[in-house]
Amino acid sequence: MKEKGLATVKVIAICLSVVAMILAGAAFYSHRTYKEPVVASEYVTQVKKLSDYFPDLKGTVNDCNIYIFEGSEPGGTVLLVGGTHPEEPGANLTAELIVENLRVKKGKVIVAIRANRSASTVTRPGDAYPQFYHIETPWGVKKFRMGDRWSNPLDSWPDPEVYVHYPSKQMLAYMDIRNFNRTWPGRKNGTITEKTNYAFMQLIEKEKVDLFIDLHEAELEYPVISTIVSHQRGVDIVAMTSMILSSTEFNIGMEYSPKELHGLSHREVGDHSRAISLLYEAPEPFLDRVRGITDEKLLLTGKDPFVMKAGEFGLLYENIDENGWPIDVRVGRHASTFLTTLEMWSEFYPDLPIVIEGIPRYNDVIANGVGYYFKDPSDVPENRVFYE
């Protein structure tokens, strides 16, 4: 009887395990294949694929959309990249807000909403990341994939024991072979992540990009936060941008890109192309190691008592109070920083102006909420709807 009972327990356990695997597999598949609708501004000139610049990416998970806006008057060209690290949602939300609302008067603006799409198809189950998050809009709720810092292992396996960066030969952490911001300028015969970097470098060359901007968020325990990191060729523009924003809208610092730290966009893009390269960092408590429950609420509100307590003990590099760091604040910071950067660019390079309209500033995003600026895909012509 005992043996029969034990066998029954084993059968039940196996059945429950199979059910759990099926449910988990369905959840993973749903997340990986979910497509986010984007309503491109009526002023978009064309939408290309990244593989148009490097055909080896055609049909891969990282063959992302490239949105191009050209003004009626000539000028400079800026490439704005969101989604480098999809666990930093303020970046891809800002990029999408710009794609859906932008009008360019002078020059050219190129935007990638999810530069490393592979990393947006996986989260961190061990860290209990939510698979999706939701933004309220005037027409309903808009759903977004949450992602990870690294490309999906399904797209890049196995990791090496030590990652040797190309071409510097600097040794980095093994998993950074899948980190889109540690593999610049990329390799055409490398991993999917390196190939994606290489493709963007081809885009920068073929489109004659003058200014490159990489959007990020960072934990409050990280010293490079609430700042703009600049290649040495862009420090004058960044200094003025920092000074103007800090005196009119919010405090934001500036950092010099370390010349001996390789693989990062603010270093390698500036070293290996004509473009001046910058990186924006906004605070995101969701990423802090001392955080509490890692759920969608924390992701969107940026409120966490454990992170606040860490601040009381002087363990943070940015302030936090009961108001937290909501997603609207983080997106608003990026939007105003982008606008001010372009204003300063046009001041320093009057022969290559980049003049844009339609993008809200910091106080507007906070007042209205980021969802206010997203368009209803069911309310526009099909040829304006694209999928990320």
Q: Hey, where are the domains in the chain?
A: 44-381
Residue 249 near residue 363, CB atoms below 8 Å: yes
Rounded distance between C-alpha atoms, residue 313 and residue 310, angstroms: 5
CB count within 10 Å of CB 59 equals 9
At 253, is the secondary structure helix, strand, or coil?
strand
What are the counts of helices (DSSP H) followed by strands (DSSP E) for the chain? 9, 15
Class of residue 195 by CB neighbours under 10 A (exposed 0-12, middle 13-18, buried 19+): buried
Residue 329 near residue 366, CB atoms below 8 Å: yes
The stretches of the chain forming alpha helices (DSSP H) are 2-33, 89-101, 192-206, 235-248, 265-272, 296-301, 305-312, 327-348, 362-368
Query: Which strand (E) or helix (H) includes residue 67?
Result: strand 65-70
CA angle at residue 112 from 109 to 115, to 5 degrees? 150
pLDDT tens, per residue, the chain with 388 residues: 567 777 888 888 899 889 989 988 898 899 999 999 999 999 999 999 999 999 999 999 999 999 999 999 999 999 999 999 999 999 999 999 999 999 999 999 999 999 999 999 999 878 889 999 999 999 999 999 999 999 999 999 999 999 999 999 999 999 999 999 999 999 999 999 999 999 999 999 999 999 999 999 999 999 999 999 999 999 999 999 999 999 999 999 999 999 999 999 999 999 999 999 999 999 999 999 999 999 999 999 999 999 999 999 999 999 999 999 999 999 999 999 999 999 999 999 999 999 999 999 999 999 999 999 999 999 999 999 999 9
CATH fold, domain 44-381, is Aminopeptidase (3.40.630)
Class of residue 205 by CB neighbours under 10 A (exposed 0-12, middle 13-18, buried 19+): middle
